[in-house]
Each structure stands twice: as C-alpha cells, then as structure tokens.
Amino acid sequence: MRIPCPLCGPRDRREFTYYGSDDYLNRPAPDAGAGPWDDHLHLRANPAGETHDLWYHEAGCAQWLRVHRNTVSHEIYGAALVAGLKGGAQ
Amino acid sequence: MRYSGFKVFTEGLFGNSGWKPAWRDPAPKAEYDILIIGGGGHGLATAYYLAKNHGLRNIAVLEKGYLGGGNVGRNTTIVRANYFLPGNSEFYSHSLKLWEKLEGELNYNVMHSQRGQLILAHSDGQRDALARRGNAIVNQGDDAELWSLDQVRDFAPYLDFEQTRFPIYGGLMQRRAGTARHDAVAWGYARGADRLGVDLIQNCEVTGIDIENGRVTGVQTTRGAIKARKVGMVVAGRSSQVAAMAGMRLPIESHVLQAFVTEGLKPVIDSVISFGMGHFYISQSDKGGLVFGGDLDFYASYAARGNLPMLEHVMEAAMTLMPMIGRAKILRGWGGIMDMTPDGSPIIDKAPVEGLFVDAGWNYGGFKATPASGWCMAHLMATGEPHEVARRFRLDRFRTGHVLDEEGTGSQHNLH
Ligand SMILES: Cc1cc2nc3c(=O)[nH]c(=O)nc-3n(C[C@H](O)[C@H](O)[C@H](O)COP(=O)(O)OP(=O)(O)OC[C@H]3O[C@@H](n4cnc5c(N)ncnc54)[C@H](O)[C@@H]3O)c2cc1C
Ligand SMILES: [Zn+2]
C-alpha cells in the first residue's frame, strides 16, 4: 500500500502511523457533554468501502494526512494535509 | 451409530456415498419468534442455548454465506481464561468451564486440547505485571503459575535464551488453556441447534431491519422478508453495517488480523507460547502445522487479507523468539475482519430498539468466548436481563465511563 503524501510523494505504508477515522477532526467543545464526546471518541460509521481517515507521516515530513481510501479493496484515492482543513491545526 | 470406525471403512468401499447431512437445509418460514443474524460461532451458540437452556423452539439463524465461513473458521483457536479485570475475568472463566464440558454437551469432537499457554516476560516490569495478573486469575478461581527462567528453559528449550535484545525473564503458565478445532465448534453447535428444531438458513443475507413504533418486527433478506418478535445481531466484523440498518452507530472500527500456518511437521511445540515483546503467538495443530499470528494491520479494513508489513513483523518476531522456525515453510496466510471496540472488550446488550439485541465487539479474542457469548446472549434474549457474568458488557459504557480496558491502552480502536 502506498500513500501519496502531498509533500513527499507516494510513500510506502511502513512510513505512516494510523490514527483512525477523520471523526477525530470534529472535536467538540470541552463542555459539550458526554454525548458529543462519546460520538467523537468512540462511535464510528465504520464504512465498508470509501472512507477518510488520519495517518501521520512519521518517517517522512511529520505531517498529519487525511487519506481518502477504500476499506474493502485497499485502493487509495488521494491524501491531503490536515493542517489547513477545518478542524485541523491552523 | 452414525459415526464409527466401521462406518468409515464401509463408506470407503462404496465411494463415500452413504453419508447423510448433519443438519437440515430448510427454506425460511414467513415468521419466527426469534431470529439470529449471523451463523458464526456466537450466532450458532446463541441459537443452541436459546433452545437448550430456555426451551424456545421457533428460532432461525440467518447466515449470508455458509455456516462457519466467517471468523469462527479463520482464527488461531486459542482458548484461555487469563483475564485480569472484573467483568472480563468471570466471563472468560465461565466460558472455559463450558469448554471443558462442550464435547459431552454437543456429543461432538471439537478437539479441545488443554495443552497450556505460556506468556513470556522480557523485563522485571513485565514479570511483575504477570505476577499480578496471575494472582487475579487465581483469585477468580482459575489456574496460573508464575514460572522462573529455568522452568521456561526446561519446558521450551528451543526458545532463544542467548539474545540480549529481548531476554526471557520467566513466564506465566495457564495449564487449562489450549486450543480447539474451530470448524468443529461451529459444526457441533449447528448440529445441536438443528436437532433442537432451530432452522439454519444459509445464503440468506439480512439487508434491512424492520422497525415499527420503536419495536423490531422482522428483517428483510435476500430470501424475502421474515417477521420476528426478537432479533439478535451476532455478525462479528460486520456489526456496524447490520446495526446501521437499525439506525445505530456502534463504538466499533473493523480491522484485519492475519494468521499463518506452516507445512505439517513432527510434534515440536506442545503448548501455546506467547512472546511478550511484539505480539507473536504460536501453537502446533494436530495435523502438525505451526499456527501463528501477531498484531492487527492497524488500519480500518474489510479485506479478509492482510498486507506485507505485518507479515514481515510476525516473521521477525518468530525468528527472534524461536530461530528454529526459520527452517519451516509457510503454507498459507489469511486474514479475518475484527470488530474492534475502544476498550478491547465486547458488547452483549439490548439495542435502543425494543426486541433488538447486539452481541459484538469481540476484537481478536472471540473464539474462546464462543460458548459463554452464546450462553449469555441467549439468557439476555430469553429473559430480558443480562446474565450475571456479562453484565458489564454494556453498549453505553463508553459514554458513562465504565470501560473495561484490559490492556490499559486507551480509547483508540486499533490499540487493543
Ligand atoms: C486471524 C485470526 C485469529 C484469531 N485468533 C483467535 C484466537 O486464537 N482466540 C480467540 O479467542 N479468538 C481469535 N480470533 C477472534 C475470533 O475468531 C472472533 O472474535 C470470533 O470468531 C467472532 O465471532 P463469530 O465466530 O460469531 O464470527 P463469524 O464467524 O465471523 O460470524 C459472523 C457471521 O455473520 C455473518 N453475517 C455478516 N453480515 C451478515 C448479514 N447481513 N446477514 C447474515 N449474515 C451475516 C457472516 O457471514 C459470518 O458468518 C481470531 C480471529 C482472526 C481473524
Ligand atoms: Zn510526507
């Protein structure tokens, strides 16, 4: 599996660390209560097919990526830097 | 007698043409009292105990493929009861006791073999943690022995005791742990359930769950609509998809776990051995193949096959622990879809929809849980109350903070 890093180009999966679904980008307010935090941390759509999830290019540019890929075929459609996305570090 | 040495012999003379199917192949009826979605180990065990323990009869199991084609036929068959946390500990203890009587119960040879499991420690801290775990297991009423380096060396002289990177400090042995023949477990429960009148319906995928006024009324399937008063979702790696049919979002992410088997060898490893430093574990099947595996591939996946990085990691761990394995040839590798929860523990609970129940989140340890999962899910569906040993497997425990994080690794789904 190769992930096309916007900064480094296509790189082997071994260079990346997986975090989880891009639900992690929708961080609720600290006082939003148990429901929204449960949603954010635990509950998942968990799609069989196309998904967006977060990968850290640890052995490369040390950037977080939002990767568009397929959980059934392992095909990767593209990747964008999290920095600059809504919810990402500005 | 249905099966005997004599029968095998005579069938051999007549082209094996006289064997009868072990269970019926019924067409679905229009209505049942109870439907179980998923004909894996847990679904079949649930149906069996609903009939056996609770005397219920009008039950069907709906399986989208064939019985035993899911994870129940893809796992590395380790059966143990060495959990630490209250909530897990009594559940797996109950399960192991059911395993010890399973062959008599089902009159089926599931080849349950209590050959022991040895978990290795590679540092003082790890040894202390194993001592603590061992004490908890003994307090629970199960068995555990803390072994010194010399005891480990006597038991498994082929481990690499010379290397300095991950030196072996000792281990924790559970003698009642072991392995079983996974397919036979599915078949045994299937035959048992069938004989108690349960309809086992294969090639029948559930495509929708019918709900009226907050109550479940039946399901839609590829073989037509089926009505029911109670429906249990017992679909392991597919739990999120099936629950979504009832408008639910589960605390589950599906991941792929790989395993491997070598060509058949003479007996060499006579227990289960777990490496404490890199998630590698191994046993030898009765056919002689070395059966081993490691960690998840770590990213969400529904492909029932893995990728090369984890394969390499598992082989490296194997060579580090027992260099002799380098001489064996790998026959096959495969993957299964794991329903990973944010604390690594399962869910057996009512769903928010009346009459709907969920048994899910078995991570990569659900084979050993098969008898107790079926027992407790049947209890819940029949009585409406959680079984005593499964009452902490609640669906809402993440929101309320009552998590069961056995390994203390945090709330990320892939870290358990
Ligand atoms: C490589 C590997 C190694 C493992 N090793 C161990 C081990 O050593 N010890 C251990 O305890 N556990 C182990 N496990 C975990 C264990 O196998 C699972 O937790 C357990 O089998 C899951 O329960 P099940 O048997 O009911 O699942 P499954 O057999 O997967 O049953 C679920 C069934 O539901 C069906 N289904 C899904 N969707 C639908 C639908 N819409 N309609 C109808 N039917 C549907 C599927 O076809 C499937 O047959 C391992 C798993 C893997 C993959
Ligand atoms: Zn990069």
Q: Are B70 and B336 in contact (CB under 8 A)?
A: yes
**The pLDDT of residue A77:** 98
Chain B nearest CA to A18, separation (Å) = 6
**Residue B414 with chain A: CB contacts under 8 Å:** 18, 20
**Residue A13 with chain B: CB contacts under 8 Å:** 307, 309
Query: Residues B317, B319, B322, B323: what is their CA dihedral angle, to the nearest 10 degrees?
Result: -170
Q: Does A33 touch chain B (CB under 8 A)?
A: no
Per-residue pLDDT averaged across B399-406, rounded?
96
Per-residue pLDDT averaged across B113-127, rounded?
97
- Nearest residue to B227 (alpha-carbon basis) of B62, B90, B66: B62
CA of B332 to the centre of ligand 1 (A): 19
Chain A residue at shortest CA distance from B306: A74
Chain A residue at shortest CA distance from B245: A45
Ligand index nearest the alpha carbon of residue A7: 2
- How does strand B272-275 pair with strand B117-121? parallel
**The pLDDT of residue A89:** 53
* B405-415 residue pLDDT tens: 999 999 999 99
As assigned by CATH, the class of the A2-29+45-81 domain is alpha beta
- Under the banding of pLDDT at 50, 70 and 90, the label for residue B279 is confident
CA of B406 to the centre of ligand 1 (A): 21
**The pLDDT of residue B155:** 97
CB distance A48–B249 less than 8 Å?
no
Residue with tokens 């690594």: B344
> CA-based Rg of chain B, rounded to a whole angstrom?
22
Chain B nearest CA to A45, separation (Å) = 6
**The pLDDT of residue B346:** 98
What are the CA-CA distances from residue B155 to residues A85, B62, B147, B285 (Å)?
56, 45, 10, 18
CA distance B186 to B138: 30
* A39-54 residue pLDDT tens: 999 999 999 999 999 9
**The pLDDT of residue A90:** 46
Q: Which residues pair with B216 in a beta bridge?
A: B211
- Under the banding of pLDDT at 50, 70 and 90, the label for residue A85 is confident
CB distance B309–A13 less than 8 Å?
yes
Q: What is the rounded average pLDDT for all residues in chain B?
A: 96
Those residues whose C-beta lies under 8 Å from the C-beta of residue B240, and which sit 6 or more positions away, are: A44, A45, A46, A47, B249, B250, B252, B254, B339
What was the ipTM of the complex prediction?
Answer: 0.95
Q: Which domains does chain B have, with CATH numbers?
A: 5-77+183-250+343-399 (3.50.50.60), 114-177+254-340 (3.30.9.10)
Q: Is the pLDDT of residue B139 over 90?
A: yes
Per-residue pLDDT averaged across A10-20, rounded?
97
**Segments making up each domain of chain A, as ranges:** 2-29+45-81
**The pLDDT of residue B172:** 98
**The pLDDT of residue B276:** 84
Q: Is the pLDDT of residue B274 over 70?
A: yes
Q: Is the pLDDT of residue B348 over 80?
A: yes
Q: Are A50 and A68 in contact (CB under 8 A)?
A: yes
Atom 3 of ligand 1 has which residue's CA nearest to it? B75
Chain B residue at shortest CA distance from A41: B411
Q: Does B247 touch chain A (CB under 8 A)?
A: no
Q: How far is CA B206 from the centre of its chain?
A: 22
CA distance B273 to B291: 11
Q: Does B413 touch chain A (CB under 8 A)?
A: yes
The long-range contacts involving B89-93, CB below 8 angstroms and separated by at least 24 positions, are B89/B136, B89/B137, B89/B140, B90/B140, B90/B388, B90/B389, B91/B369, B91/B372, B91/B376, B91/B389, B91/B390, B91/B393, B92/B368, B92/B369, B92/B372, B93/B140, B93/B141, B93/B142, B93/B389
Chain A residue at shortest CA distance from B250: A43
CA distance B146 to B333: 33
Q: Which of A18, A45, A73 sits opposite B299 (nearest CB)?
A: A18
State the pTM of this model. Answer: 0.97
Per-residue pLDDT averaged across B30-36, rounded?
98
**The pLDDT of residue A88:** 60
**The pLDDT of residue B304:** 85
CA distance B299 to A70: 11
Q: Does A74 touch chain B (CB under 8 A)?
A: yes
**The pLDDT of residue B222:** 98
**Residue A24 with chain B: CB contacts under 8 Å:** none
Strands (E), B215-350: 215-221, 224-233, 253-264, 272-275, 280-284, 289-300, 330-340, 347-350
CA distance B231 to B215: 10
- Nearest residue to B398 (alpha-carbon basis) of B338, B337, B340: B340
Ligand index nearest the alpha carbon of residue B70: 1
Q: Indicate the DSSP class of residue A37.
A: H
- How does strand B199-201 pair with strand B59-62? parallel
**Residue B307 with chain A: CB contacts under 8 Å:** 1, 13, 74
Q: Are B369 and B346 in contact (CB under 8 A)?
A: yes
